[in-house]
Amino acid sequence: MAPLWQIITRDGTASKVDELIFFGADETAAVNESVGALRIKRGQERGRIVQTTASAS
């Protein structure tokens, strides 16, 4: 099997310049949790996700 970078280069992706592609290899729950946290962190760093706090009423 070809290395991942060769598959992506050969097959192409729908990504655009300055976009990230995340990959994870582990149990489904572990990958979902870690990649999800990374997406949120990067979104906050780039100002694409605004962190809000819930107000108690």
DSSP code of 24? -
Tell me the C-alpha distance between 54 and 57, whole Å: 9
Instruction: Give the pLDDT confidence of 4-39 residue by residue, as tens digits.
Output: 777 776 556 767 777 777 778 899 999 999 999 998
Backbone angles phi, psi at 24, to 5 degrees: -145, 145
Helix (H, G, I), strand (E, B) or coil at 28: helix
Q: Does 55 have pLDDT greater than 60? A: no
**54 pLDDT higher than 70:** no
Please report the pLDDT score of residue 9 as a whole number: 67
Write down the pTM of the prediction: 0.55
